[in-house]
Structure 1
């Protein structure tokens, strides 16, 4: 999500005997109370390779704790377990979300050479006086020395932006003069918030399973569920459990061999993608650094294939402190210390905005500010939930039994909650890119849906507008240079697009939506067929 969210009413945390999880309207974090049974942990890095040593940093109020590490694939495979580990309660700085927890290592283990690539779930359990608590962390294991045809790049920039553990993220928190301001600086050196690594089956999505009913009060089931069960309300916006895990499990079950890496790996290893035929990006894919993006651009121009089943390509970030810190000033970009410097092109603002001026169309064929919300609350709340197909003869739709104007993915609600779009014109019933937003005229628009930057307020008594018009004003300011009523009105409308593009020696397929993975998890056979068509062509 792209807005600085309004404060929401505090909720009472769920309790199990004496165990409780700190949850208020901003964050989950340490209780800082020895009487509260808790356990939290994190690792220095987000991804590792076989032969690496993982230093697990754990803080618990229990005398003893236990550990399980397992591969979270199409089936869960336990790989390592320990019991009776001595517990230590480690001091946590108040501003740990900004500068890190600085905990000592509690348990080290060497990753065996025979562990396969994938997402690895770390389960931490502690018990005291009959009470029991469980929390989770995770890491990615890459095996680049024996590359698979495909590499799934996890959106760790977005994970960091939404991670509210300890106080602040890129949306809200304990920082600022009134204690509820987003932090432009966030640290990797802290646990992931509850719901990023593991979720119960059936946890609600940001896009509800059915459209909004007119005259009824708008609902946000995922936030209601999060408050009721002690999860972060951000679980539906980012994290392994909500997005990449769904794609990885589906692909493995279908027989596709994936390697795994992170956006942070793209930052440090610009040659990483050259080992693979196809780079895959899925889910909510909002925050990128310039180095990450240049790695993808160079790969594609040299002949690499890019399959992006993700949406909301919006903010430039900077990675600092050896990868431990992410910087993004967003709406307050004028306060970025690089403004006015010879590095002004690295100011952390929207890609399309000045002084960056590097539209997402140049990399993935679509832009974040050209798209935005669909299926979230009243934002296109009564939409079909799918894409309208315009070019059914394209190779991506082969054997999917799709015709002109058919809805792709409506039954599985794949369109939302944030989408990426492109400036277009209609000619004889077909959309064509205009190029006004930096899009290459060679880009083909295969399918589209409509999106908005404004949540309408119908004046229903007791209802609070959640999204409002903040984003429309921002878009008007940075793209049109003014916030007049006319400019804001022009900025309310957007779209989400599926595009295909032969770029340089390579090729790009983009389905600009966060929720494409729901078409796979919910076994929408047409969405599955399109996904197979893309992977089979790009991995051949």
Structure 2
């Protein structure tokens, strides 16, 4: 039985179903392609959304009115470090920290010397992109022992001592942060999040740290470096056959220390904070561990490429949607691999420092109810295709770039965007693309609308169609999936920025924050 009730937190105006209804609401593939087409060609019944409250905007606007700095991105006269030269590199001992907590940075340099560590919060800050929060000069660093691979299935894990421990002031706002390690000639960085589970913001941005680590090839020397994608195999060849089954957070990110596709998250953070949306921040591991109560937010924003999910991550999100929380996936290829988070091999007392995903039948989690693989696969566990939650699912890599082609132009997402059916928004379909698979369907939705249908060239010259999806549930929740890597890029100020995508994103977040008028 579905039980309807008011959400006490935040004084929400839209009623939501009880958590116990999550399974019934999110696992039944009741939508068909016929239903999608039926609602797609005239969807103007939704009333105009209201703007987020002035009180909600004030917190972020006040923070971003402070003096900004672009030092997180580059330092004049310093070159980025690399994995071969190992001029200076480091990592944090946690992906997130609460105000009042402590986070340690472990730094190694090619020669004994002193290092300067600068800590920045990312945002808009007058277009500078960040604010310098703290500077610590004279931190001694030295060359740390090169870790060896413990076996062919694991990436390296460092045992470097802590170079500096940062006590995070309680006044620091939740956000995406970067620590910069600078010597006299080179620089590197390490990202982390300050979470604040006590503040009931309108939106929570979930940074895809598990996916960051899955792609991390450090040290990229064609000898020891392994990611969940490639590494050196038994024959000495650098191939997918040499990939790791486990990758550790206890190592720097390759090169200058910023993860693969980190820019996707940065683009949204800059745009969202400039627009004044009331944002809190968390990581994949926070979602996995339940460190933040996701149901206290009006919506969760998955701003970047969020491919690697544990079962607890997915269950918590499904329960939140059943309770009326909305989701905004601003990329493609979301919730594709089912993974495990396990304690660090170097210190069993530190949880969630290793991401495990065998991607094959040779999986040590098999037989323990924790085998990894694609969520959509039927074995070894029942298939749970990501589309049933997200509305679309990964189709293929995009060769080059293609325009996003508007569909259902009268849908509220496209309000005030100046588009009509067939409008082509250039350079948006890039990287990877999602499509709606009518064989899979979606979970029960009041309406499911495909708001784009974009032909694009896939591998081997084959033509596919990209879809952007909006699921609207009876309890007021919205599940949006951009279905392309290019959506957040269009939020930026550069040559790929597009006012139509920016307005559509405002429509989406306004609808999530305050619901239909």
State the TM-score, normalized to the length of structure 2: 0.74
Does the 8 A contact of 2:99 with 2:168 survive in 1?
A: yes
Asked if 1:502 corresponds to 2:472, the answer is yes
Q: Deviations over 1:172-226 (max 9, x none)?
A: 12354425211121001111123553xxxxxxxxxxxxxxxxxxxxxxxxxxxxx
The aligned counterpart of 2:429 is 415
Where relative contact order (Cα < 8 A, 6+ residues apart) is larger, the structure is 2
Does the 8 A contact of 1:30 with 1:92 survive in 2?
A: no
Counterpart Cα distance in 2 of 1:253 and 1:438: 34
Structure 1 residue 455: deviation in Å?
3.1
Q: Secondary structure at the match of 2:460?
A: coil
The aligned counterpart of 2:352 is 323
2:319 pairs with 298, 323, 332, which one? 298
Larger mean CA deviation between 495-504 and 447-456 belongs to 447-456
Asked if 1:93 corresponds to 2:147, the answer is yes
Q: Which runs of 5+ in 1 are unaligned?
A: 1-16, 23-27, 32-37, 198-234, 424-433, 457-491
The aligned counterpart of 1:362 is 388
The aligned counterpart of 2:375 is 351
Asked if 1:81 corresponds to 2:135, the answer is yes
2:99 pairs with 40, 47, 50, which one? 50
Q: Secondary structure at the match of 1:284?
A: coil
The aligned counterpart of 2:451 is 446
Does the 8 A contact of 1:301 with 1:504 survive in 2?
A: no
Change over 3 Å in CA distance of 1:163–1:342 after alignment to 2: closer
Asked if 1:389 corresponds to 2:406, the answer is yes
Aligned pairs (5 A) from 1:125-164: 125-127=182-184, 132-164=185-217
Q: Deviations over 1:235-286 (max 9, x none)?
A: 6xx243x210110001111111211111111100076211211100123222
Q: Deviations over 1:411-462 (max 9, x none)?
A: xx12121011112xxxxxxxxxx35355657422121223465234xxxxxx
State the TM-score, normalized to the length of structure 1: 0.71
Does the 8 A contact of 2:391 with 2:436 survive in 1?
A: yes
Structure 1 residue 81: deviation in Å?
1.0
Change over 3 Å in CA distance of 1:196–1:85 after alignment to 2: closer
What is the root-mean-square deviation of aligned Cα atoms in Å? 2.5
Q: Deviations over 1:345-397 (max 9, x none)?
A: x43222212314110112211112xx2122xxxx2x3x6x2222221111111
The aligned counterpart of 2:422 is 405
Change over 3 Å in CA distance of 1:342–1:186 after alignment to 2: closer
Change over 3 Å in CA distance of 1:422–1:70 after alignment to 2: same
Aligned length: 408
Change over 3 Å in CA distance of 1:239–1:49 after alignment to 2: farther
Counterpart Cα distance in 2 of 1:29 and 1:186: 20
Counterpart Cα distance in 1 of 2:175 and 2:80: 31
The aligned counterpart of 1:470 is none
Counterpart Cα distance in 1 of 2:457 and 2:361: 26
Does the 8 A contact of 2:197 with 2:291 survive in 1?
A: no
Structure 1 residue 144: deviation in Å?
2.1
The aligned counterpart of 1:170 is 228
Counterpart Cα distance in 2 of 1:263 and 1:366: 21
Structure 1 residue 52: deviation in Å?
0.7
Q: Secondary structure at the match of 2:255?
A: coil
Does the 8 A contact of 1:29 with 1:165 survive in 2?
A: no
Q: Secondary structure at the match of 1:147?
A: coil
Q: Secondary structure at the match of 2:468?
A: strand
